[in-house]
Amino acid sequence: MSTPAAQTRPDAHGTPAPTSRTAPSPPRRRPTRYAVERRIFAVLRWVVIAGFLLVTLLPFYYMVLLSLKPIESLLRDPASVIVTPAEFTLRAYEQVLTPVSAGGQGFGTFLLNSAFVAISAVILSLIVAVPGAYAVARLPFFGHRQVNALFLAAYLFPAIVMAIPLFVLFTRLGLRGSLVGLVLVYIAQTVPVAIYMLRNYLETVPVSVEEAGLVDGLSRLGVLRRISLPLITPSIMATGLFIFMIAWNEFLFALLFLVEKRESWTVSLGLSQLSGSAEIPTTVLMAGSVVLTLPILIVFFSTERLLTGGLTAGAEKG
C-alpha cells in the first residue's frame, strides 16, 4: 500500500543491523534483570506491532470485504472473513454509483460535488495562503505577532462553535445549500493551517538566496515568484493535498448547509444520510465507504513523507 517514494526512505539513520544498536554487551555480573527485560521486550515489541496492525487494518479490510459480497451471504454467515470466488460481485459498486433516476444511489453525483468542493478549496486556499505565508515568514509588517496568534486561534477553534453563526450568515446571504458557500467555509478553515505549514517550508529557503535576488534588482514580489516559489513547489503540493484531505473528509458544514438538497450532497454527507436508511443494503453502503475512502488514501500515500514532515516540524524542535 505504500508508495515508491515512501519505500526509498532510509529507515535507519546509519543503517546498522537492528541488533547492533545494543551492541555494548551488558556487564556479565548482573545479567538477570537486564537479560529478562530484554528478552521480554524483544518479543513484546512484535506482539504490539502485530496487535496494532490488526486493529488499524481490520476495519478497512472489513470495509472492502463487505463491499465485494452480496448482502445475502453476509446475513447467512456474518462471521466469514473471506470472500469466496462464488460470492464475489461488484454489484454493490454498480448500485452505489448509478444515478438515482436509474435506481441507484447516485454516488457519481456526490463524487463530482466532493471533487468540485475539494479542488476549489485547494486552489483558492493556496492562492490566498502562499502570499500570506511568505509575509508571515519573511516580512516584518506591523501587527505580525497578533496576526500569527489570530491564525493559530482560528485553526484551533472547532467547527461546532463556528457552525451556528455561519449557518445564520449564509442563510441570509442565500449561500446555504450552494457548493460555493461550502467552498468559502473550507477556505477559511484551511487557510490558517496552510499558512502554518507553508511558513515552515519557506523558512528552509536561505535568506541569502532571496537577498541576492533583491540586490539584482528584483522586487519582493519578484523574489517570491521567481526564487522562493520554485524552491518550495513540492511543499506547496503537499499543503494542497492536505487541504484536499480536510475538504474531502469534512462532514459538519456539509450537513448543515446541504442536507436539504440531495443533488448537492458530498460523498461524506451522502453516505451518512443513506446509512440511516434501512432499505439500502449494508454491502452497498460499504461500497460507498470504499468510494469515499479511496481518493484520500491515494492522496495520502503519494505524499505521506512530505505531509508528516510538515505537520510535525514544530515538534522536532522540541
Decide whether 53 or 90 has the Cβ nearer to another protein. 53
Q: Is the C-alpha dihedral spanning 291, 296, 299, 304 positive or negative?
A: negative
Please say which residue, 56 or 101, places its beta carbon nearer to another protein.
Answer: 56
- The minimum distance between CB 196 and another protein, in angstroms, equals 10
Q: Rank residues 18 and 102 by Cβ distance to another protein and give the closer one.
A: 18
Q: Is there a contact between 70 and 87 (Cβ–Cβ < 8 Å)?
A: yes
CA dist., res. 212 & res. 275, Å (int) = 59
CB of 318 to another protein, least distance (A): 6
**Residue 83 burial (CB < 10 Å; 0-12/13-18/19+)?**
middle
State which residue, 108 or 131, has the beta carbon closest to another protein.
131
Is the CB of 219 or the CB of 233 nearer to another protein?
219
SS3 7: helix
* Minimal distance, residue 29 CB to another protein, in Å: 9
Closer residue to another protein in complex, CB, 79/86? 79
As a whole number of angstroms, the distance between CA 133 and CA 139 comes to 10
Contact (CB, 8 A) for 268 and 211: no
Could you tell me the smallest distance in angstroms from the CB atom of residue 191 to another protein?
Answer: 6
In angstroms, rounded to a whole number, what is the distance separating the alpha carbons of residues 132 and 196? 10
Our CB check for another protein shows the closer of 100 and 169 to be 169
Nearest approach, Cβ of residue 89 and another protein (Å): 18
In whole angstroms, the minimum distance from the beta carbon of 104 to another protein comes to 18
Whole-number minimum distance, CB 307 to another protein, in Å? 9
Q: How many residues does the chain have?
A: 318
Q: Calculate the alpha carbon distances from 199 to 129, 186, 203, 243 in Å.
A: 10, 20, 6, 15
Which residues have a Cβ under 8 Å from the Cβ of 287 and sit 6 or more positions away?
Answer: 67, 92, 93, 95, 96
Question: What ranges make up the beta strands (E) of the chain?
Answer: none
For residue 68, give every residue at least 6 positions away whose Cβ sits within 8 Å of its Cβ, in sequence order, or none: 83, 88, 89, 90, 92
Judged by beta carbon, residue 4 or residue 102, the one nearer another protein is 4
For 272, counting Cβ atoms within 10 Å of its Cβ (0-12 exposed, 13-18 middle, 19+ buried), the class is: middle
Rounded to a whole number of angstroms, the minimum distance from the CB of residue 151 to another protein is: 7
